[in-house]
Amino acid sequence: MAVNDKIKQVKDAEADLELVSALWGGTQAMRDAGTKYLPQEPGEETDAYKNRKNRTTLANIFKKTINTYAGRLFEDEVKIENQPGLDSFTENVDLEGRSFHRFGYDLTRLSLRDGIRFILVDAPVAEDVKTKADEKANNIRPYFVDIDRRSALGWKTEAINGQTVLTQFRMMETVAEVEDEFTDKIIDQIRVIEPNLVRTYRKNEKGDWLLYQELPTSIGFVPVVPVFADRYGFMSAAPPLMDIAWLNVEHWQKSSDQSNILHVARVPILHWAGYKPSFNEEGKQTDIVVGPNTLAKSPSENAKLSYVEHSGQAIGAGRQDLIDIEDRMVALGAEFSTPKKSGNITATEKAINESGDISDLAAFAQNLKDSLTNAVVMVCKMSGIQFTGEITLNTDLGIMHEKVNIPELVKMRANGDISREGLYEILNDEWDTTLDAKTEEDRIENEAPSLGGGGMTDFDI
Please report, for residues 107, 239, 241, the alpha-carbon distance to residue 113 in angstroms, rounded to integers and kept in the order given.
Answer: 10, 6, 7
Give the mean model confidence (pLDDT) for residues 292-313.
Answer: 60
The span from the CA of 251 to the CA of 259, in Å, is: 12
Four-residue CA torsion sign, 231, 114, 363, 347: negative
Cα radius of gyration rounded to whole Å, the chain = 33
Residues 130 and 232 in one domain: yes
Confirm whether 334 is domain-assigned: no
Is the pLDDT at 350 greater than 60? The verdict is no
Please answer whether residues 417 and 424 qualify as being in contact, where contact means their C-beta atoms are separated by less than 8 angstroms.
no
Give the mean model confidence (pLDDT) for residues 276-302.
Answer: 65
Is the pLDDT at 315 greater than 70? The verdict is no
Confirm whether 217 is domain-assigned: no
| CA 303 from centroid of its chain's CA atoms | 60
Please report, for residues 108, 117, 238, 258, 447, the alpha-carbon distance to residue 10 in angstroms, rounded to integers and kept in the order given.
Answer: 20, 12, 11, 37, 70
Return the H-helix or E-strand segment holding 105.
Answer: helix 100-114
Residues 16 and 140 in one domain: yes
Q: Output the pLDDT for position 281.
A: 73
Percent of the chain residues topping a pLDDT of 70: 75
Q: Output the pLDDT for position 378.
A: 96
Is the pLDDT at 194 greater than 90? The verdict is yes
Residues 13 and 137 in one domain: yes
Tell me the pLDDT of the chain averaged across its residues: 81
Q: Output the pLDDT for position 381.
A: 94
The span from the CA of 114 to the CA of 104, in Å, is: 15
Give the mean model confidence (pLDDT) for residues 294-303.
Answer: 64
- Using DSSP, state whether 233 is helix, strand or coil: strand
Burial class (CB in 10 A: 0-12, 13-18, 19+), 113: buried
Residues 43 and 22 in one domain: yes
Q: Output the pLDDT for position 320.
A: 76
* Count of domains forming the chain: 3
Give the mean model confidence (pLDDT) for residues 199-220.
Answer: 94
Residues 419 and 273 in one domain: no
Q: Output the pLDDT for position 205.
A: 92
Residues 12 and 131 in one domain: yes
Q: Output the pLDDT for position 454.
A: 44
Residues 304 and 438 in one domain: no
Is the pLDDT at 80 greater than 90? The verdict is yes
Cβ-proximal residues to 85 (8 Å cutoff; 6+ apart), any chain? 380, 383, 385
Is the pLDDT at 310 greater than 80? The verdict is no
Cβ-proximal residues to 159 (8 Å cutoff; 6+ apart), any chain? 165
Report which of 280, 277, 269, 279 is spatially closest to residue 298, judged by C-alpha positions.
277
Is the pLDDT at 445 greater than 80? The verdict is no
Higher pLDDT, 88 or 457: 88
Q: Output the pLDDT for position 403.
A: 54
Q: Output the pLDDT for position 151.
A: 97
Residue 275's domain spans which residues?
A: 269-308
Is the pLDDT at 292 greater than 60? The verdict is no
Is the pLDDT at 208 greater than 60? The verdict is yes
Task: Answer with the one of 351, 372, 392 that is the final residue of a domain.
Answer: 392
- Residue ranges in 120-165 assigned as alpha helix (H): 132-137
Residues 233 and 288 in one domain: no
Confirm whether 321 is domain-assigned: no
Please report, for residues 229, 423, 425, the alpha-carbon distance to residue 416 in angstroms, rounded to integers and kept in the order given.
Answer: 45, 11, 16
Confirm whether 44 is domain-assigned: yes
Q: Rounded to 5 degrees, what are φ and ψ at 259?
A: -65, -40
Residues 382 and 285 in one domain: no
Give the mean model confidence (pLDDT) for residues 141-165.
Answer: 94
Stretch among 145-154, 159-168, 370-379, 420-429 having the lowest mean pLDDT = 420-429
Confirm whether 381 is domain-assigned: yes
Confirm whether 170 is domain-assigned: no
Q: Output the pLDDT for position 426.
A: 77
Residues 384 and 284 in one domain: no
Residues 386 and 409 in one domain: no
Q: Output the pLDDT for position 348.
A: 39
Please answer whether residues 260 and 52 qualify as being in contact, where contact means their C-beta atoms are separated by less than 8 angstroms.
yes
Confirm whether 325 is domain-assigned: no
* pLDDT single digits (tens) 36-63: 999 998 988 999 999 999 989 999 999 9
Confirm whether 105 is domain-assigned: yes
Residues 130 and 31 in one domain: yes
Higher pLDDT, 440 or 243: 243
Task: Answer with the one of 392, 412, 444 that is the final residue of a domain.
Answer: 392
Name beta bridge partners: 13: none
Q: What ranges make up the beta strands (E) of 13-142?
A: 79-81, 116-122
Cβ-proximal residues to 344 (8 Å cutoff; 6+ apart), any chain? none
Q: Rounded to 5 degrees, what are φ and ψ at 157?
A: -135, 165
Q: Output the pLDDT for position 441.
A: 76
- Using DSSP, state whether 159 is helix, strand or coil: strand
